[in-house]
Amino acid sequence: MRTYYQPEIFNNTIDGVDRKRNIIATYYLKDRKEGIEFMDHLSLIQSIALESSTGTWEKVKEDTLEIRSTLSCKLVGYYQIPNEDKYTAEAVIQFAISIDAWIENLPMMLLSIAGNAFAYSQYLKLMDISIPDDLLAKFKGPKFGIDGLRGLIGVKERRPLSLHIIKPKMGMTPKQTADQCYETAMGGVDMIKDDEMTSDTYNCKYTDRVKYVMEALYKAKKKTGKMPIYLCSITDEAYKVHDRARKLVELGGNGILITYSQGLSSFKEITEDPEINVPVMMHGSHMIAGMHHIAWPVFAKLCRLCGADLMLTPTIYSSVPMVSHEEGLRTAQVKLAPLGHIKTTAPMPCAGVHPGTAPVIVGEYGPDIVIPAGGGMLGHPDGYTAGAKAWQQAIKGSMETENDQQFIEFAKQPENYELKRALEKWGMPKRPDSHWLRASEELRPKPMKFD
């Protein structure tokens, strides 16, 4: 009998699979064939399911029913999206992917959920993954999370943390780097990080940078009473990076930065090492190249599982906006949402932000974030220390005021002079009004004045 659709792939629902042993991967799938009205979307999905697990385009005798039933991807959800183009098929689909296909093997897990499947459709996009209990237990997640970061710095109140991004991206000597860090530390900055483009350059090795910067921070601490976390970039070849992480700790470093191009498995090996008991930041870097096929909340969940204490987060208030407003916010929410025993990953709304953006960023992302600034701190008209002070004032003002006018009045107070100067240079973005919740402009609430 000819069978167009393999029942071991299709005759499934999300209620009938073992939720402890299967990842549920959710995809958006859109395909268009000009002039072809009968596209047979399920045949395409069958090819994707087999390519991501057991099969190939031509079945062989060893490809048994037992193998397919045990290890093939199973379609557990198909939700067609109506459209008016008869040549386009569009749907949200869900696969159940058995973790027995690769036991404890992170690279193979990534291949299963985000591998050859993308060759089958130009518009296939991985939107979400649900991690089963038996797999979640294998991950340790972040050592610190946002609460742990505050504890290391000595911040008792629940508020955002400020972070100085060292600029220029590369080229400074260890002493020049340390001098810049000293100035922002004197302004009260909470954290400092290398730019992701720096690891070792001809004139600045990471070992020298750690020594100089930590000496500068201890010098500042004697005057301020506060020790910022310095996230030193150590991205390198896989066989080198773990030794570099241990060496950094031996030298007295108190934070690590690694880019996504390092690979999640290599990253996870470092975060799970008990001897590397310092926060580790994941920098998005190469994620940007994959964003057409993988949604940022998926990246966020994977990096959190692998131990990222903090991680950059896209936002529309950035100088390099990459995703929709909703996807940026959802990325941050996924980092903070309950996830079994896994601690939070601190979101970092980033790129091109300045003190005037603090109220809207804090209002949208909440207090459990780290706000990184490079030019938006170092470009302060009165220098680096003033730039760091302006950010501390902006964070305080964002937590204590309810609207833009109150924030401006806060900036006018003499003790917040640095914030006022920052606003004079960069201003404040106005958050667009939302019109979704009222039928018309006339029905929107408006204040009234009485004599």
* 23-55 pLDDT tens trace: 999 999 998 888 888 888 899 899 899 888 877
Please list, in sequence order, all residues whose beta carbon lies within 8 angstroms of the beta carbon of residue 234, skipping any fewer than 6 positions away: 199, 206, 241, 244, 245, 248, 256, 257, 258
Consecutive H or E run containing 365: helix 358-365
Residue 286: pLDDT over 80: no
Note if 325 is an active site residue: no
Catalytic one of 30, 167, 175, 242: 167
Contact 31, 121 (CB under 8 A): yes
Q: Per-residue pLDDT tens for 197-238?
A: 888 888 999 999 999 999 999 999 999 999 999 999 999 998
CATH code for the structural domain at 145-426 = 3.20.20.110
Alpha helices in 154-198 (DSSP H): 174-186
403: left (phi > 0), else alpha (psi -120 to 50), else beta? beta
Higher local confidence (pLDDT), 419 or 434: 419
Q: Which whole number is the average pLDDT over 276-287?
A: 88
pLDDT at 261 over 90: no
Give the chain's length: 451
Burial class (CB in 10 A: 0-12, 13-18, 19+), 304: buried
**Residues facing 161 on adjacent strands:** 370
Task: Give the residue with greater pLDDT, 436 vs 93.
Answer: 93
Residue 186 has pLDDT above 80, yes or no: yes
pLDDT of residue 438: 61
Question: Does the pLDDT of residue 444 top 80, yes or no?
Answer: no
Q: Percent of the chain having pLDDT more than 90?
A: 67
Can 396 be counted among the known catalytic residues? no
Residue 451 or 394, more confident: 394
Tell me the pLDDT band of 436, cut-offs 50, 70 and 90.
low
Tell me, what's the pLDDT at 246?
Answer: 97
Average pLDDT, the chain: 91
Chain position carrying tokens 């069978």:
3
261 strand-pairing partners: none
Contact at 8 Å (CB) between 142 and 134? no
Domain boundaries, the chain: 11-136, 145-426
Confidence band for 439, pLDDT divided at 50, 70 and 90: low
| Domain 11-136 fold | Alpha-Beta Plaits (3.30.70)
Rounded CA separation 162/157 (Å): 14
Euclidean distance between CA atoms 118 and 347, whole angstroms: 28
pTM of the model: 0.92
Give the amino acid at 65: L
Residue with the two structure tokens 């490809």: 63
The one catalytic residue in 283, 335, 354, 380 is 283
Per residue in 360-379, pLDDT (tens digit) is 999 999 999 999 999 999 99
DSSP-based three-state secondary structure for 282 = strand
